[in-house]
């Protein structure tokens, strides 16, 4: 049994994640200590205390919130095509990868084309998919519908069908010779083609859709189609072709109704510098056309153009917006043009004209005559008697999917309550589904909650967790708020209108990565707003790499030229973005080796751009060769700084064995510690020394309790060389791979030396150990953990902090740690913290020995009671020393029941320094 010494140190977890300095005590009496919680990583002092290390804040201001279109009722199905009551289910291809479904809800198709081909008249085709960031789920194909009597409807996230890439040049959706088809809540985006083409079809209803044209019209209705109704839909163009229009109706089409839509024309081409002659709605030779209650933001051509010989045309209740960008167009086009041949068959009235700039070309060109003002038009024609010029600027209420054309009327607008509700095609609700609709344009004036908006602020709270603060500007009305966390999880918050809508919610993700949080607020007077904020989890997971040499001052590897590290000098080592390592890597696992130092000193590794910590990673004496494993954060620029804390020069070698990234990779799981290999007695390998210039395999997968039989990406070991018969080095590398030019520890004849090793595991579940000496050496391997894609432990590097220094009377006061004594550190009882990462250093060593680190079987409460359970040192070592030497080593150890022990496995006193460098956190 070992005698105990208490170390009352480290950290407490609260709202501020504060470090609490603790007085260390020499103790056999029951300690008066409290458990430590998770320490923080990057120093961020603030008035509220120390923030979570590296924690980021993600915001989306209230100005980003936008109103959401309601689920408007679709038009009744034609009596000629009764419903079958059957639904064919489709998932977008971006959501499902293997198209083996049968169209049921349990096994949906992964292609809309397969869905419509399998449907029969009377069927409903339901399209769903998960959100992809701020974009809806997508399906890259060009779909053609040949079956009449279908209803196509999308989920609440408006899935999109896009004809880009291999489908380019074809409309995203073509209705080919069909009738009685209804399409709602879907997005169609054409690549060098219309988003949607109606061809030789009749009795078609498009409601609450999004239609986008890239290099083509958003919607094209051909001349052989009739009875086409497009309502409450958004239509826009990108990368426009000169002379095109967002909505194009060809000569010969009959009975077309365009009502309650948001129509956005384009003013510039793909380069965003050259003005392009494109329009909003263009119809030629149409027999029956109702353009009613739309909001049209025109491009360089008219917002509404009626050409050819068109008859039975009605243009009423529209809000025509001319942005300042139109002033740069050289076409001089007015908002509305009607050809001489169409003028007799056209009625225009109750339209509201708004121009951001005074340089607009005027409201009308009628039968070839341009009218610069509404008054001039009214004086010359019998049309437009109720037209108005808007003097109160409407405000955009959408910065989301409606692309800045959802203009809301403001108090005092001439368009409020002045629409002709009897106009052909007039709707009873607006674009968002609010009614009754008596205003001009597509968006109803909202007097009941005009300032309705929502701000979002998200913060990291842990490796996998975030908090989300909501601040809603609203009148005191009841509302339901839906939080979609971006991983399929939805929470609902209810407010009853009796207090401000300000609250904070939290979420823990199952996987690291980037997520888009979508918050939708449904208030009970009928308004709905939405806002989104992108967040990234804070933790990082491990990717095995190499081993590979990144730095060797002896031959200039990683440096501009060959040269030793100068006294008190710093080497900047490129890691992130080098040699295939991702630029977003957050930390690196490096084996640092000091060799040939001219004086005593130490090496400190830290992220470039940050302050150099007061802790050290490698301590050395003159002429000594000393390795040590480090887990060091990487600077934002991809560099790690290596500082030589010596009055003279030294050579320095750095080998990388892996890196951490803020995305799902291999998580850490602690085991043991357990002994895997000891060549002195034949444990895990044949008894006998590893021969000079020879190697042996070591089984990792399934070789110790807690080690799985497969799927191990890398393993965390403590490797010790003892009884070497010559000077040399040891290289640990994955089985089945070529031995790298790298080393894990260096030794001299007769020396016992240990180093932590994180090494990738070969496909056969093994590693190999190469003895680089010309004579034999014994090797001992203890396992402390492993990395696997099936584990979740995410690394949280911290700002290095000294938890224990037995030389410091201010924090310890008990003098050196005596032989066969152990020091115990209360850490944390949190079950989501599987392990801590320390750098342990022994100095002033009174006898040869070794240090063991392990979890304590007791809790702090057991120690407080005065009756703790007996503690026994494990049969493993974390570092080994000779009398009078200073030896560091990285230690990864689980806190178990909340306490970690450091055992002095020698007969002499030692001074022990323990610095914390990070911890792992599960989901």
pLDDT in tens, 688-714: 999 999 999 999 999 999 999 999 999
Phi, psi of 116, deg, nearest 5: -70, -30
Provide the residue count of the chain: 923
CA 185/CA 69 separation, integer angstroms:
9
Domain with 29, as residue range(s), is 3-55+796-921
- Output the CA–CA distances (angstroms, integers) from residue 444 to 31, 91, 320, 404, 437, in the order listed: 70, 34, 15, 16, 6
What does DSSP say about strands 57-60 and 66-67: parallel, antiparallel, or unpaired? unpaired
**Range name among 12-16, 461-465, 552-556 with the lowest pLDDT average:** 12-16
Has residue 37 got a pLDDT over 50?
A: no
Judge if 111 and 240 occupy the same domain.
Answer: yes
Stretch 146-164: mean pLDDT: 85
Write the pLDDT tens digit of every residue in 378-389: 999 999 999 999
Stretch 168-180: mean pLDDT: 93
Q: Mean pLDDT in the chain?
A: 87
In-domain check, residue 425: no
CA 463/CA 52 separation, integer angstroms:
10
Stretch 82-96: mean pLDDT: 84
Judge if 284 and 372 occupy the same domain.
Answer: yes
Last residue in a domain, options 738, 766, 788 = 788
Cβ atoms within 10 Å of 366's Cβ, excluding its own: 23
CA 420/CA 564 separation, integer angstroms:
86
Q: What is the DSSP letter of 276?
A: -
Confidence of residue 70 (pLDDT cuts 50, 70, 90): low
Q: What residue ranges in 294-368 does DSSP mark as E strands? A: 295-297, 304-307, 311-316, 319-322, 336-338, 346-349, 352-355, 364-366
CA 247/CA 197 separation, integer angstroms:
10
In-domain check, residue 430: no
Judge if 760 and 834 occupy the same domain.
Answer: no
Q: Tell me, what CATH number does 523's domain have?
A: 2.60.40.10
CA 195/CA 749 separation, integer angstroms:
76
Region of residue 12 (left: phi > 0; alpha: psi -120 to 50; beta: else): beta
Question: Is residue 561 packed enough to be buried (19+ CB in 10 Å), middle (13-18) or exposed (0-12)?
Answer: exposed
Inter-residue contact 615 to 839 (CB < 8 Å): yes
Total of domains in the chain: 5
- Give residue 788's pLDDT: 96
Judge if 914 and 776 occupy the same domain.
Answer: no
CA 450/CA 548 separation, integer angstroms:
61
**Range name among 123-132, 253-262, 797-806, 904-913 with the lowest pLDDT average:** 123-132
CA 797/CA 799 separation, integer angstroms:
7
Has residue 9 got a pLDDT over 50?
A: no
Higher confidence at residue 20 or residue 878? Answer: 878
Higher confidence at residue 15 or residue 850? Answer: 850
Judge if 342 and 211 occupy the same domain.
Answer: yes
In-domain check, residue 442: no
CA 634/CA 620 separation, integer angstroms:
24
Has residue 595 got a pLDDT over 80?
A: yes
Confidence of residue 51 (pLDDT cuts 50, 70, 90): very low
Confidence of residue 786 (pLDDT cuts 50, 70, 90): very high
Confidence of residue 801 (pLDDT cuts 50, 70, 90): confident
**Range name among 327-341, 621-635, 882-896 with the lowest pLDDT average:** 327-341
Highest mean pLDDT of the ranges 67-71, 165-169, 409-413, 717-721: 717-721
Write the pLDDT tens digit of every residue in 499-535: 778 999 999 999 999 999 999 998 887 788 889 999 9
Has residue 422 got a pLDDT over 70?
A: yes
- Closest by Cα among 306, 323, 408, 385 to 360: 323
- Closest by Cα among 272, 253, 338, 275 to 302: 338
Judge if 761 and 812 occupy the same domain.
Answer: no
Can you list the alpha helix ranges (DSSP code H) found in 308-356?
A: 340-343
Q: Tell me, what CATH number does 598's domain have?
A: 2.60.120
Stretch 205-223: mean pLDDT: 91
CA 697/CA 841 separation, integer angstroms:
30
In-domain check, residue 238: yes
CA 82/CA 839 separation, integer angstroms:
75
Judge if 568 and 524 occupy the same domain.
Answer: no
In-domain check, residue 429: no
- Give residue 291's pLDDT: 98
Stretch 353-381: mean pLDDT: 90
Q: What is the DSSP letter of 391?
A: -
Question: Is residue 826 packed enough to be buried (19+ CB in 10 Å), middle (13-18) or exposed (0-12)?
Answer: buried
* Rg of the chain in Å (alpha carbons): 36
Stretch 898-913: mean pLDDT: 95
Judge if 174 and 323 occupy the same domain.
Answer: yes
Has residue 621 got a pLDDT over 50?
A: yes
Report which secondary-structure segment, H or E, holds 258. Answer: strand 254-259
- Output the CA–CA distances (angstroms, integers) from residue 871 to 181, 867, 900, 906, 910, in the order listed: 77, 12, 11, 16, 20
In-domain check, residue 62: no
Judge if 482 and 553 occupy the same domain.
Answer: no
Q: Which residues contact 837 (CB under 8 A, 6 or more apart)?
A: 631, 795, 890, 891, 892, 916, 917, 918, 919, 920
Cβ atoms within 10 Å of 327's Cβ, excluding its own: 15
In-domain check, residue 834: yes
- Give residue 41's pLDDT: 21
Stretch 396-413: mean pLDDT: 69
Has residue 350 got a pLDDT over 60?
A: yes
CA 669/CA 715 separation, integer angstroms:
10
Has residue 480 got a pLDDT over 90?
A: yes
Last residue in a domain, options 476, 510, 536 = 536
Judge if 523 and 573 occupy the same domain.
Answer: no
Inter-residue contact 488 to 511 (CB < 8 Å): no
The end-to-end CA distance of the chain, in Å, is: 36
Inter-residue contact 606 to 643 (CB < 8 Å): yes
- Give residue 533's pLDDT: 95
DSSP string, 392-441: S--EE--SSTTTT--EEP-TT-TTTT---TTSTT--SS-TTS-S---SSS
Q: Tell me, what CATH number does 188's domain have?
A: 2.160.20.10
Judge if 329 and 283 occupy the same domain.
Answer: yes
- Give residue 360's pLDDT: 66
What does DSSP say about strands 202-207 and 179-184: parallel, antiparallel, or unpaired? parallel
Has residue 553 got a pLDDT over 60?
A: yes
Report which secondary-structure segment, H or E, holds 864. Answer: helix 860-865
CA 728/CA 627 separation, integer angstroms:
13
Judge if 672 and 727 occupy the same domain.
Answer: yes
Confidence of residue 1 (pLDDT cuts 50, 70, 90): very low
In-domain check, residue 60: no
Last residue in a domain, options 488, 516, 536 = 536
């Amino acid at each position: 049994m070992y005698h105990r010494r208490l170390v009352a140190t480290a950290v407490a977890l609260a709202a501020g994640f504060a470090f609490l300095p603790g007085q260390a005590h020499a103790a056999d009496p029951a300690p008066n200590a409290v458990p430590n919680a998770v320490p923080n990583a990057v120093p961020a002092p603030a008035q509220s205390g120390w923030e979570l290390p590296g924690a980021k804040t993600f915001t989306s201001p209230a100005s980003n919130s936008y109103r959401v279109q309601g689920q408007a009722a679709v038009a009744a199905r034609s009596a000629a095509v009764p419903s079958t009551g059957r639904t064919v289910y489709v998932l977008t291809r971006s959501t499902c990868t293997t198209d083996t479904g049968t169209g049921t809800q349990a096994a949906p198709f992964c292609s809309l084309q397969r869905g419509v081909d399998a449907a029969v008249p009377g069927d409903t085709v339901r399209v769903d998919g998960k959100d992809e960031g701020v974009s809806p789920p997508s399906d890259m194909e060009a779909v053609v519908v040949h079956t009449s009597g279908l209803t196509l409807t999308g989920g609440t996230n408006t899935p999109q069908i896009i004809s880009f890439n291999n489908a380019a040049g074809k409309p995203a959706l073509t209705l080919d010779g069909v009738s009685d088809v209804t399409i709602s809540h879907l997005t169609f985006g054409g690549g060098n083609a219309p988003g949607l083409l109606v061809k030789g079809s009749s009795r078609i209803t498009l409601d609450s859709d999004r239609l986008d044209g890239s290099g083509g019209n958003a919607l094209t209705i051909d001349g052989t189609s009739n009875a086409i109704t497009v309502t409450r839909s958004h239509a826009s163009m990108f990368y426009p072709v000169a002379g095109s229009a967002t909505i194009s109706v060809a000569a010969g089409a009959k009975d077309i109704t365009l009502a309650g839509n948001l129509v956005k024309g384009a003013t510039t081409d793909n380069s965003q510098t050259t003005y392009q002659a494109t329009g909003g709605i263009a119809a030629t030779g149409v027999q029956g056309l109702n353009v009613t209650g739309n909001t049209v933001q025109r491009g360089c051509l008219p917002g509404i153009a009626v050409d050819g010989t068109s008859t039975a045309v009605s243009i009423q209740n529209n809000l025509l917006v001319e942005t300042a960008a139109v002033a740069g167009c050289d076409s001089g086009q007015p908002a509305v043009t009607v050809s001489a041949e169409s003028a007799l068959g056209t009625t225009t009235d109750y339209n509201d004209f708004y121009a951001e700039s005074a340089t607009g070309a005027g409201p009308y060109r009628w039968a070839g005559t341009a009218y610069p003002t509404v008054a001039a038009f009214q004086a010359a024609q019998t049309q437009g008697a109720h037209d108005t010029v808007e003097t109160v600027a409407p405000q955009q209420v959408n910065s989301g999917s409606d692309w800045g054309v959802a203009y809301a009327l403001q108090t005092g607008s001439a368009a409020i309550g002045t629409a002709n509700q009897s106009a052909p095609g007039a709707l009873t609700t607006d674009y968002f589904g609010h009614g009754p609709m008596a205003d001009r344009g597509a968006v109803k004036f909202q007097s009941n909650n005009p300032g309705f908006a929502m701000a979002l602020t998200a913060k990291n709270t842990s490796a996998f967790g975030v908090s989300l603060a909501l601040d809603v500007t609203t009148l005191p009305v009841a509302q339901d708020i839906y939080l979609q966390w971006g991983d399929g999880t939805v929470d609902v918050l209810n407010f009853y209108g009796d207090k401000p809508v300000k609250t904070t919610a939290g979420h823990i993700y199952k996987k690291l990565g980037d997520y888009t949080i979508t918050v939708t607020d449904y208030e009970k007077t009928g308004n709905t707003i939405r806002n989104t904020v992108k967040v990234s989890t804070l933790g990082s997971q491990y990717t095995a790499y190499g081993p590979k040499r990144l730095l060797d001052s002896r031959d200039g590897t990683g440096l501009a030229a060959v040269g030793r590290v100068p006294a008190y000098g710093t080497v900047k080592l490129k890691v992130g973005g080098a040699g295939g390592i991702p630029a977003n890597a957050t930390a690196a696992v490096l084996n640092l080796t000091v060799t040939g130092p001219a004086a005593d000193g130490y090496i400190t590794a830290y992220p470039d751009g940050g302050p150099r910590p007061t802790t050290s990673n490698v301590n050395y004496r003159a002429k000594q060769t000393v390795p040590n494993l480090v887990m060091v954060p990487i600077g934002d620029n991809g560099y790690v700084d290596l500082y030589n804390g010596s009055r003279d020069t030294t050579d320095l070698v750095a080998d990388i064995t892996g890196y951490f990234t803020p995305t799902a990779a291999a998580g850490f799981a602690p085991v043991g510690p357990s002994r895997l290999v000891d060549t002195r007695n034949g444990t895990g390998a044949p008894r006998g020394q590893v021969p000079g210039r020879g190697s042996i395999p070591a089984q990792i997968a399934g070789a110790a309790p807690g080690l799985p039989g497969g799927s191990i990406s890398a393993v965390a070991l403590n490797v010790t060389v003892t009884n070497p018969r010559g000077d040399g080095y040891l290289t640990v590398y994955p089985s089945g791979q070529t031995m790298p030019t790298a080393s894990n520890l260096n030794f001299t004849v007769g020396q016992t030396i240990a180093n932590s090793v994180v090494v990738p595991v070969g496909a056969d579940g093994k590693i190999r150990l190469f003895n680089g000496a010309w004579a034999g050496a014994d090797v001992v391997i203890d396992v402390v953990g492993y990395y696997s894609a099936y584990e979740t432990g995410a690394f949280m590097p911290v700002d290095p902090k000294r938890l224990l220094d037995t030389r410091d009377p201010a924090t310890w006061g008990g003098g050196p740690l005596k032989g066969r004594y152990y020091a115990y550190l209360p850490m944390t009882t949190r079950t989501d913290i599987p392990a801590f990462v320390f750098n342990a250093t022994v100095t002033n060593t009174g006898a040869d020995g070794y240090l063991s680190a392990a979890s304590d079987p007791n809790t702090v409460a057991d120690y407080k009671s005065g009756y703790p359970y007996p503690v026994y040192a494990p049969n493993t070592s974390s570092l080994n020393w000779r009398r009078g030497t200073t030896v560091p080593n990285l230690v990864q150890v689980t806190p178990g029941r909340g306490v970690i022990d450091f055992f002095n496995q020698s007969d002499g006193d030692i001074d022990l320094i323990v610095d914390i460098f990070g911890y792992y956190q599960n989901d």
